[in-house]
A and B are shown apart, each in its own frame.
Chain A
Amino acid sequence: MNLSPDEIVYWQLGFFKLNATILFTWCLMLVFFIGAQLLRRLLANKSERTRWQNTLEIIVLTIEKQISSVGLSNPRQYIGFLGTLFLYVALANLFTIFPGYEPPTGSLSTTISLALCVFVTVPYYGIKQRGLKDYLASYTQPTFIMLPFNIIGEISRTFALAVRLFGNIMSGSMIIGIMLIIAPFVFPVVMTALGLLTGLVQAYIFFILASVYIAAATSVDNTQTHFPPSIEQP
């Protein structure tokens, strides 16, 4: 029984291994690339709107609405990174309906690299929005004693982000594998349907947590006031 698709090796040349994770990630990249090219051609040639353009606009606008709902004021600035995260994780989890497909998000190396992207991007946007000094000063909020705890929290939440996605997807495929041994006829279908729901929810959670982290790093007013000053001073 394989714990992750890293262990399925198709081809090996010395140090370089072509395992299932890399292969299916390349397949997903190919699907995204071809899909984007086809959609771009549809956008360029026709004057009237096609149904694919409407679908794409629905997806983009929904992602923008979700980003702005966590408190990021200019969602168009972040949609390149956060939207890619959501679409990649969602498609990687949804493709489990195809037989023989191993989700690359069920491997810890994929999820840790995704979480490391978030780990690097959060300070980038924070420094870009607030300046280096102001951003570094936010680690000493509310007092200077909190500095090590803030740093530990930054690292542990990255790790939790990776393990949460990995554990959910890995447990889904493992439960299906166990079900195929015990009751191979009806129950794997039910568990696959549940796995699709879990995969989409996990993609949404990964995306919304990354947005929340970026929003917390870029918010200029870091104090815990619950009311704007205009209400307190009539």
Chain B
Amino acid sequence: MDSLTLIAITSIITSGITIGFGAIGPAFAEGRAVANALMALAQQPDASSTITRTLFVGLAMIESTAIYCFVVTMILLFSNPFWNYFIAQSGN
């Protein structure tokens, strides 16, 4: 196997692992956040606007950890710097 094939195999496998494991943590965290927000909504329906706003902000901040993994995956798949380097090498 030449280096291009190795880079392709490693990039694809690593990107799958990255997005898979990167989704686990935020999924648990968002589940906990929504569950607690629902409990708070059931106990204090008057504060629903504040709870909902804080929940949305919190969810977006939790989700950004998954988004970081997504960015790494997309970089590995679509604009891999090592792949581009070896493509340029083989072109010359």
* A177 nearest CB across to chain B (Å): 11
- Number of contact residues on A: which range applies? 10 to 19
Residues of A1-44 contacting chain B, CB below 8 A:
1, 3
Asked if B35 lies at the interface with its beta carbon under 8 angstroms from chain A, I say: no
Cα–Cα, bound, A39→B61 (Å):
35
Cβ contact of B60, chosen from A3, A166, A170, A205, cutoff 8 A:
A205
Are B68 and A163 within 8 A (Cβ)?
yes
Cα–Cα, bound, A1→B67 (Å):
19
Cβ contacts under 8 Å, B67 to chain A: 163-164, 167-168, 171
Asked if B10 lies at the interface with its beta carbon under 8 angstroms from chain A, I say: no
By DSSP majority rule, is chain A's interface helix, strand, loop, or mixed? helix
Cβ contacts under 8 Å, B7 to chain A: none
Asked if A147 lies at the interface with its beta carbon under 8 angstroms from chain B, I say: no
- Number of contact residues on B: which range applies? 10 to 19
Cβ contacts under 8 Å, B60 to chain A: 168, 198, 201-202, 205
Cα–Cα, bound, A174→B67 (Å):
12
Are B64 and A201 within 8 A (Cβ)?
no
Asked if A208 lies at the interface with its beta carbon under 8 angstroms from chain B, I say: yes
Asked if B78 lies at the interface with its beta carbon under 8 angstroms from chain A, I say: yes
Residues of B56-72 contacting chain A, CB below 8 A:
56-57, 60-61, 63-64, 67-68, 70-71
Asked if B75 lies at the interface with its beta carbon under 8 angstroms from chain A, I say: yes
Give A167-182 as 1s and 0s: 1 = Cβ < 8 Å from B's Cβ atoms. Answer: 1101100100000000
Asked if B79 lies at the interface with its beta carbon under 8 angstroms from chain A, I say: yes
Cα–Cα, bound, A198→B59 (Å):
11
Are B57 and A167 within 8 A (Cβ)?
no
Residues of A200-220 contacting chain B, CB below 8 A:
201-202, 204-205, 208
Are A204 and B78 within 8 A (Cβ)?
no
Cα–Cα, bound, A144→B21 (Å):
37
Instruction: Answer whether A167 and B78 are a contact pair too, CB < 8 Å, given A201-B60, A202-B60, A205-B61.
Output: no
Binding site for A on B (CB under 8 A): 56-57, 60-61, 63-64, 67-68, 70-71, 74-75, 78-79
Top 3 A-B pairs, shortest CB-CB distance:
A167-B67, A164-B64, A167-B71
- Assuming A3-B74, A205-B61, what are 7 further A-B pairs, CB within 8 angstroms? A164-B61, A164-B68, A168-B60, A170-B71, A170-B74, A205-B60, A208-B57
